[in-house]
A and B are shown apart, each in its own frame.
Chain A
Amino acid sequence: MKKDCSQMQKEILACNGVFNVAIEEHCADCESCYQFKKDWKLFDELKAAPAIALTNDFAIIRAAQKYSKSHRIQVAVRRGLGYAAATVSGIAAAYAVMFHGPMANTSNDILNKAWNWDSFEERVFVLDTAVEVSHQDLTIGEVPKDEALNKFIETEINFDEI
């Protein structure tokens, strides 16, 4: 018997049915390995096809359908909850950024400026009054119109503030 028969038989097993030249050469001279190779092929091809009861098929396919349906529902519910959570978080985040975050001061200033018309209205009232007074002066004719109006405007109205 050859010294490397044991290793050769492992190679025969590992070959997956396609034997290399070294194995074929070894088996040509070695009766034991030749027989091992033959038996291995014989056993490898000897595959039984067991009869599986129909009740097994039925039970497993039914379970697969049932599980798939419940899995689908779970996925749909999870997805719905995900969308709802994302929407709520989005709104919360926007609120936080607008009113409590780094933009809070800027946005408040913008809103305040946008809604505070007090000084402007005051100035309009003053200007309106001045125009009216000037008109009265003109109608009376005692003071030259441009001079009185210009004087009033210069002293009472600060155009930088308007």
Chain B
Amino acid sequence: MDKPDKDLIKAYLHGDADAFTVLYERYKRQVYSFLLKMLADKSSSVDDLFQHVWIKTMKNLHRYRDQERFLAWLFSIARNTALDHFRKQKKNYMFSELDREDTPEVENTSAEEPWRNMDRSELLSAVEAALLLLSPEQREVFVMRQDGLSFKEIAKLHDCSINTALARMQYAMKNLQKELIQWNTGG
């Protein structure tokens, strides 16, 4: 049976370097996927940031308290690292646009949309391309949810209510559906 995260963290803090390797192997894909999607236009810096996130993690591991899930804590480091990166790049990464609890207008969508019949790999490429067209905050919520964070954890990371996090996801879904329709029509 897999060792719980807190046991691995304890072991690493007592000098067992292999325990960290297990943690890394357990979560590296989620963290990499998150950074890759958040920095999609700057893929060359993803590897650097990815390493930076893990080094920050090992150096701050003694500060981790197991009240929250390790994955959520790890994502807070990844998110802050990405935001620092944006700040250095002087990129505008504001949340003001959607810092409200409203929800998008519900529209009727047809079950006959061709994108719904794509095969998995094609759909994956289409979704990844469509994600780049979303606003950063919508993309972030979508990616975090896909990587296994709950809406409660996402709301905590974004310092907003769960309702706001859900509304952002609704916007993300709505915009993804729109982009996928255009993807199919070649627009």
Contacts and interface: CB of A to CB of B under 8 A. Distances in A.
A33 B177 CA distance: 13
A72 B15 contact: yes
A43 B176 contact: yes
B49 to A, nearest CB: 11
A64 B58 contact: yes
Given A32-B106, A48-B33, A56-B50, A42 B17 contact: no
Given A6-B106, A44-B145, A61-B21, A50 B33 contact: yes
A63 B170 contact: no
Interface in A88-125: none
Interface string B158-187: 000011001101100100110000000000
Contact of A63 (B13, B36, B55, B124): B55
A16 B149 CA distance: 10
Interface stretch (A7-15, A19-27, A144-152): A7-15
A56 B21 CA distance: 12
Contact of B107 (A32, A39, A48): A32
A64 B17 contact: yes
Contacts, number: 120
A46 B47 contact: no
Contacts of A47: 33, 146-147
Nearest to B21: A61
Interface of B: 12-13, 15-17, 20-21, 24, 28-29, 32-33, 36, 47, 50-51, 54-55, 58-59, 103-111, 116, 120, 123-124, 127-128, 142, 145-147, 150-151, 162-163, 166-167, 169-170, 173, 176-177
8 contacts: A6-B106, A13-B166, A31-B111, A42-B123, A44-B145, A44-B146, A50-B33, A75-B15
Interface of A: 1, 5-7, 9-10, 13-14, 16, 31-33, 35-36, 38-40, 42-44, 46-50, 52-53, 55-57, 59-61, 63-65, 67-69, 71-72, 75
